[in-house]
Amino acid sequence: MFRTVSSLDGALKQPGSTKGIATPVRTDDPVLLLLHQKKSCAGAVGDWLLSHGYRLDIKRPTLGEKLPQSLEKHAGLIVFGGPMSANDDTPEIKREIDWLTLALQQKTPYFGICLGAQMMVRQLGGEVRPHKNGLVEVGYHPLSATSAGQQLCPDWADKYFQWHKGGFSLPEGAISLASGQRFEHQAFSYENHVFCVQFHPEITQPIIERWSAEAQHMLTKKGAHIAERLLADHQKYGAAQRNWLHQFMSHWTSTFKAK
């Protein structure tokens, strides 16, 4: 049964820049969203899709929900983050990584966020590994768009929200869209239909508050920002990140097949 997110955090209200924005393709096919915890939600990404008339089909494969055997009846696929690692030797993670071959074979528009990016990297033969000095990225961090990234989205924010312990290599054949100081590879595209980011553009204030409360151990790791700084920086940089998300989602949905 198709269903929408039951508790979306903070609908986007700022239209953002419109220059160079692609036109989303309208379709009755739902977008498949993979979440990895019971309380997880699609945040600002789900808000954008719903506000633009797209239906959402939400699955939680790590909680035992079955994934479709084909993606032909879905307009696109978004795989979100989670506390697990793409390197975990568990049946759930292995199955999900293997299942991603469908998106590649059927050339389904794909958007991988954090864990969703890292699992696609593994599927494409790349590596996921921790920082050589044991640092994490938790909080808003600067990154730089490449020329390909600037062509994709005209307006990049100065900083993006991060919440991860490891980074990924750039898979063979992938095009770098953005790089960071602590973890080099922050965004890439592959064969014009796969887009992956290490950061969390779906973040909202309620999500930051929940993660800070329920995953306090992440705030104690080397290089992490404290909870108060997370919220203060979100007030400073959140709007620019949302503007980027508007532009990216317009481009991503412009790759959907009209039906």
Q: Which residue has the higher pLDDT, 14 or 235?
A: 235
Inform me whether the pLDDT recorded for 7 exceeds 80: no
**Could you tell me if 206 and 212 are in contact, meaning their C-beta atoms sit under 8 angstroms apart?**
no
Angstrom distance (rounded) from CA 238 to CA 223: 20
Among candidates 116, 128, 187, which has minimal Cα distance to 157? 187
Distance CA 138, CA 114 (A): 12
**Statement: residue 239 has pLDDT above 90:** yes
Q: Phi and psi of 19, rounded to 5°?
A: -70, 135
C-alpha–C-alpha distance, residues 151 and 182, integer Å: 24
In the numeric block, the tokens 């909080």 are attached to 139
Asked if the model's pLDDT at residue 21 lies above 90, the reply is no
The residue with greater pLDDT, 15 or 160, is 160
Which residue ranges make up each domain of the chain? Answer: 31-253
Give yes or no: 114 in active site: yes
| Environment class of 150 (CB within 10 Å of its CB; exposed 0-12, middle 13-18, buried 19+) | middle
Give the pLDDT confidence score for residue 20 in this predicted structure.
Answer: 56
74, 141, 185, 200: which one is catalytic? 200
Residue 96 among the catalytic residues:
no
Q: Of the listed 164, 202, 234, 246, which one is catalytic?
A: 202
Q: How confident is the model at residue 51 (pLDDT cuts 50, 70, 90)?
A: very high
- Tell me: the pLDDT tens digits for 116-147? 999 999 999 999 999 999 999 999 999 999 99
Where is 248: in which H helix or E strand?
A: helix 227-253
Contact 247, 15 (CB under 8 A): no
Of 240, 256, 234, the residue nearest 14 (C-alpha): 240
Is 186 or 23 the better-scoring residue by pLDDT? 186
CB within 8 Å of 147: residues ≥ 6 apart: none
Asked about 193 being catalytic, the answer comes back as: no
pLDDT higher than 80, residue 225: yes
Reading the block at residue 220, the tokens are: 């104690």
Question: What is the model's pTM?
Answer: 0.91
Active-site residue identified among 36, 74, 114, 246: 114
Structure tokens at 64: 């035992």
Architecture of domain 31-253: 3-Layer(aba) Sandwich (3.40)
Give the model confidence (pLDDT) of 211-220 as tens digits. 999 999 999 9
Query: How high is the mean pLDDT of the chain?
Result: 91
Q: What's the burial of 8, exposed, middle or buried (CB within 10 Å: 0-12/13-18/19+)?
A: buried
